[in-house]
Amino acid sequence: MIWRTLYTALLVAALPWFLARLWWRGRRERGYRRQIGERFGWYRIVPERATLWVHAVSVGEARACAPLVCALREEFSGCDLLLTCSTAAGREVLTQLHAGAAQIVWIPYDFPGAVSRFVTHFRPRLGVLVETEIWPNLLAACRAHAVPVVLANARMSETSAAGYRRWRAIARPAFASLAAACAQGEADAGRLASLGTANVSVCGNLKFDVVPDASQAQAGRAWRRALARPVLLLASTRAGEEKLLLEALARAAAPMLVVLVPRHPQRFEEVHSLLDAHRARLNGGLPVARRSKGEEPHPEHRLYLGDTMGEMAFYYAAADVAIVGGSILPLGGQNLIEACAAGTAVVFGPSMYNFSDASRLALEAGAALQAGGAQEAVQLALGLLEDAARRARMGAAGLDLCAAHRGATQRHLAICKSLVQDRSAEGLPPATAPARG
């Protein structure tokens, strides 16, 4: 308890920084300056029925949990769904996917009063935290109010586990308070158990159950056909990676279109400026076309900026080969499963620890190639652009991989159902009862 008190004191001391960060990020993403009271546990939404709560911190988690959210909505039709997030981009994606079907609010900061107000206001019958969201005060509040919490699609790298072990006095009670954890793989399950989680099951990766938007995929394929030339996608790139990849591409003379989609929307303008600086070498001096402005690439264009949200199905369907970002620098990688689900050949760099199981499976299946850095990634991608037969084999392998590993949603749902039923059996209000009273 004393360690959690010290942790809370540090959070309180950092409050001015939290507020300054909200203001600063709000310059580019206005969503950060809206509903500030929710960050401290004050909500205008009044729950009318029993509530099931799912927390997806940002964009990746919001997309990953979409199949589970839909399954929960269908299974518990008498309940309201509450979705929380931490980032403006995440909230936008949740709104795109679930507007009208769920209430969407900010998760409060991990102050004891704020999280207690959150739990007592919404009184969730079940909490679902997606991937690696471990907040000591939030979990303590859920435990105090008998709210069972599941860690869904849980992943735990050895680096992350070592960090939690260094702070075991705070972390172990939090992990121990979880009612269940649905791990992506055996290694994740073992690390979660070693950190104190008692009920751990290997349920697979929810991202394999995400089906690409059919209309976006169709539009992407039509867009590529109209271009009549190869398309190389630099997907979900992170800061510092674009420069390395563009410099490697400057040495290539292939008549292709390079489509660059940054991972974070607040970097769209920054990346546009970077592309503009490279246009003399890579774009024939022409202005860089942008999807957000409805601009189409001309035959002379070699660079195109994909600066829109919620369209990854379009971009992957439009690509012949995709280099997955977050992997060139030591950032752990981004979601390669989206590319596999689109039947697109995949190349990624050396850093894929956030997707260790998925990347291993993709390599073993022949759906992906791994490079040691930006230069090699570009060389591998260019080789694939010249080898249609190999691209087709890799694309088919990716589709087969996704088909073989579907089913995580139903395994997650079974665990969620058992926890809701256990809560009812203990004499607490059932999941279909009114939230108040």
Reference 297, options 259, 253, 248; nearest CA is 259
Q: HSE on the CB side for 99, CA within 13 Å?
A: 5
- For 287-298, give one letter per residue: b (16+ CB within 10 A) or e: ebbbbeeeeebe
The DSSP bridge partners found for residue 149 are 127
* 296 is known as an active-site residue: no
Taken in order 49, 54, 58, 64, the sign of the CA dihedral is negative
∠ Cα 97 130 107 (to 5°): 75
Report yes or no: 233 and 322 within 8 Å, Cβ to Cβ: yes
Instruction: Give every CB contact of residue 150 below 8 A, 6+ residues apart in sequence.
Output: 126, 127, 128, 129, 178, 179, 180, 181, 182, 412, 415, 416, 419
Rounded Cα gap, residues 399 and 344, in angstroms? 9
DSSP 3-state of 27: coil
Which amino acid, residue 113? G
Phi/psi of residue 156, nearest 5 degrees: -150, 105
DSSP 3-state of 266: helix
Rounded Cα gap, residues 45 and 37, in angstroms? 12
The DSSP bridge partners found for residue 51 are 80, 124
Name the catalytic one among 38, 61, 92, 131: 61
Helix-helix angle 15-25:2-13, to 10 degrees? 50
Phi/psi of residue 328, nearest 5 degrees: -75, -45
Report yes or no: 51 and 124 within 8 Å, Cβ to Cβ: yes
Active-site positions read 61
